[in-house]
């Protein structure tokens, strides 16, 4: 089953001529044709272009010395600008936007021979934790509760990316993480994802939500798959002023390192009220695996963690309010005419933005307004500095932190939706690392009593991705998570 393979297996298979890149790509296009009407992971499918890219990849492979990703079919989150291919940010306001340029991250992947199957769904402008806020409809998690066919959310905002990989409709996918949007969907869909250090991957050509937080990263079926993808995606970009000029190490080589003598911190503040006993148990299991691998477990404290979510929901909407001001119907995107310029703005934005985007623009504009700037935005920036300092203090004592990724397994559509604040709480474990700009890797560690994946999260020092790949690989081997979702290319509908 070609679609069931990991990237590492496909890399070897292509070089041993067990199958061609064209066959591999066509198998994934067939999976998309079979499953996408149900799962709704893809907004735009570029099957013809993908097959042409695959044919070119076969020629490169035949010539020898092709980069690792040559011929590997990937899904691209529809927040990355792709030259000549519609890029919507899952919003009506950009419904027909076709960029004349390629984002740096996707250009890097194309440079290394990757095949793009299409653009995948997300929460509109990456705002959400359930992929329920897309103008093109919600994405369904390919996993099911035992004995039920309830529509479960895949997490957000990179829900389309996570669902596509889990359902075997892509071998890997790009995601973006502003407050957990790679890690939380990875946990809900039983796959692996890493949010690199802020500045590790270029943001150029990624449609902005909150510029001081947004970071691109890979999502895949294994830790090593993510390492191969990040190797290609990362690197300095002079077009992005927040990109860091630091050499990209060999992430794949880090996957086999010994963990002997490594110190792993367990932050007490992550034992929050309402944490599911199953998550608590899988967390303890993760601690035991790392002890067995030769790690020393250290209890640590991140005292300002409790302010992380509140701080995030001031800073991120403030930046969004500023970033989304450019969608006015004048230069590009949707335009709804009015009797005056002000009316044109109001009509365009009223018709073009969904409810959650409007809510965050309103919150952001409020906290930036003259009377409230000091009380909210300025204070939030001060707390953010304290959160960052907590992490730096802890990383003087330990090499990596182990925490849960999300407080529960995937929830059903409608379960947490009445109150937006309840939805925001899904990000409680992922937001602090985003505020501090440190890297975080999420991987599946077990199943709930209802048969749903439960994930754990590893957090590292700035630019400590190699350590995360080393520890993540060891945990992945110990967890031996081989479960598959109900809805997948190799399964039945």
Burial level of 366, CB count in 10 A (0-12/13-18/19+)? middle
Q: Supply 32's token pair.
A: 């998309």
Which residue out of 34, 77, 119, 221 is catalytically annotated?
A: 77
Q: Supply 307's token pair.
A: 């302010």
Distance CA 203, CA 76 (A): 14
- Told to judge if 157 belongs to the known catalytic residues of this protein, a careful annotator would answer yes
Distance CA 273, CA 283 (A): 15
In this structure, the strands spanning 192-195 and 440-447 are antiparallel
**Nearest Cα to Cα of residue 221 among 264, 265, 161:** 161
Which residue out of 161, 181, 202, 448 is catalytically annotated?
A: 181
- First-to-last C-alpha distance (Å) of the chain: 17
How far from 60 is each of 26, 73, 112, 114, CA to CA, in Å? Answer: 18, 15, 11, 12
* Dihedral-angle region of residue 312 (phi above 0 means left; psi in -120 to 50 means alpha; beta otherwise): alpha
Which residue out of 91, 157, 222, 473 is catalytically annotated?
A: 157
Q: Supply 420's token pair.
A: 């937006």
Active site residues: 77, 157, 181
């Amino acid at each position: 089953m070609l679609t069931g393979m990991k990237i590492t297996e496909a890399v070897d298979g292509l070089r041993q001529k067990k199958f061609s890149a064209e066959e591999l790509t066509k198998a994934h296009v067939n999976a998309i044709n079979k499953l996408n009407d149900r799962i709704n992971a893809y907004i735009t499918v570029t099957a013809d272009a993908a097959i042409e890219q695959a044919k070119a990849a076969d020629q490169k492979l035949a010539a020898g010395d092709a980069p690792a990703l040559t011929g590997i079919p990937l899904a691209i989150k529809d927040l990355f600008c792709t030259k000549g291919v519609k890029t919507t940010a899952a919003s009506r306001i950009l419904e027909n936007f076709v960029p004349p340029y390629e984002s740096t991250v996707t250009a890097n992947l194309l440079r290394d021979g990757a095949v793009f199957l299409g653009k995948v769904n997300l929460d509109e402008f990456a705002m959400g934790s359930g992929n329920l806020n897309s103008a093109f409809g919600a994405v369904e998690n390919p996993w099911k509760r035992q004995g039920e066919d309830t529509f479960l959310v895949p997490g957000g905002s990179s829900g389309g990316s996570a669902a596509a990989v889990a359902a075997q409709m892509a071998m890997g996918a790009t995601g973006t993480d502003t407050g957990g949007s790679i890690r939380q969907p990875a946990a809900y869909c039983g796959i692996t994802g890493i949010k690199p250090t802020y500045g590790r991957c270029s943001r150029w050509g990624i449609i902005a939500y909150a510029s001081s937080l947004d970071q691109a990263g890979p999502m895949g079926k294994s830790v090593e798959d993510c390492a191969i993808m990040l190797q290609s995606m990362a690197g300095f970009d002079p077009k992005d002023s927040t990109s860091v000029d630091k050499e990209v190490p060999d992430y794949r080589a880090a996957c086999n390192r010994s963990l002997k003598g490594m110190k792993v911190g367990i932050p007490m503040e992550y034992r929050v009220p309402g944490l599911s006993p199953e998550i608590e148990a899988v967390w303890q299991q993760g601690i035991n695996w790392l002890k067995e691998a030769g790690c020393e477990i250290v209890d640590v404290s991140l005292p300002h963690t409790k302010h992380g979510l509140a701080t995030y929901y001031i800073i991120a909407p403030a930046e969004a309010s500023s970033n989304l001001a450019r969608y006015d119907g004048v230069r590009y995107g949707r335009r709804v005419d009015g009797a005056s310029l002000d009316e044109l703005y109001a009509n365009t934005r009223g018709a073009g933005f969904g409810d959650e985007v409007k809510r965050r623009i309103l919150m952001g504009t409020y906290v930036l307004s003259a009377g409230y700037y000091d009380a909210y935005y300025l204070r939030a920036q001060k707390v953010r500095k304290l959160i960052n300092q907590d992490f730096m203090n802890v990383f003087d004592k330990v090499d990596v932190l182990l925490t849960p990724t999300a407080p529960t397994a995937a929830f059903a559509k409608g379960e947490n939706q009445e109150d937006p604040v309840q939805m925001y709480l899904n990000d409680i474990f992922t937001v602090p690392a985003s505020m501090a700009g440190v890297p975080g890797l999420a991987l599946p560690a077990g199943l709930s009593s209802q048969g749903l994946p439960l994930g754990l999260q590893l957090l590292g020092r700035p630019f400590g991705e190699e350590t995360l790949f080393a520890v993540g690989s060891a945990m992945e081997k110990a967890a031996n998570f081989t479960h598959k979702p109900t809805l997948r290319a190799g399964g039945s509908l």
